[in-house]
Amino acid sequence: MVADLTTCPHCHQAEPVIRFGTNESGSRRCRCKDCNKTFTPKPNSRKTTPEKEQQIERALQERLSIEATARLLKVAKKTIYKTLKKNTAAARTRPHSPQA
C-alpha cells in the first residue's frame, strides 16, 4: 500500500495514513493505522446545484406535480420540498415593488 501525506482528522497523525478504497460517490477513502478509523479527505459535495434548483422551479411553474418533477429530474421529493420552501422564504423577504 502507498502511504499518503494526509493527516488523520481523529488523532492528527500523518505517518500511518494509508489509502483504503473509495466510497459510494467515488471519493478516495483513507485509514489511519494508528487509531484504525477511516475517513474521506476531500468528500464530494451533495448540495443541490443552482441549475437543478432552477429546473425544479421551472417544472413547478409549468404546473407539473411534485411526483412528476421528481421523476423527470431524478431527484427526491424531499429535495423539491426543500427547494420550494427555500424559494418561498426568499420571496417573502424581497421588498415588494408597487406596480403602476
Residue with cell 478509523: 37
| Residues 20-46: tens digit of each pLDDT | 898 877 888 999 988 989 898 888 777
45 contacts 35 by C-beta, under 8 angstroms: no
Of residues 44 and 74, more confidence is placed in: 74
DSSP 54: H
DSSP 11: T
Q: Count the Cβ atoms, other than its own, within 10 Å of residue 23.
A: 13
Please report the pLDDT score of residue 95 as a whole number. Answer: 66
Percent of the chain at pLDDT exceeding 90? 38
pTM for this prediction:
0.54
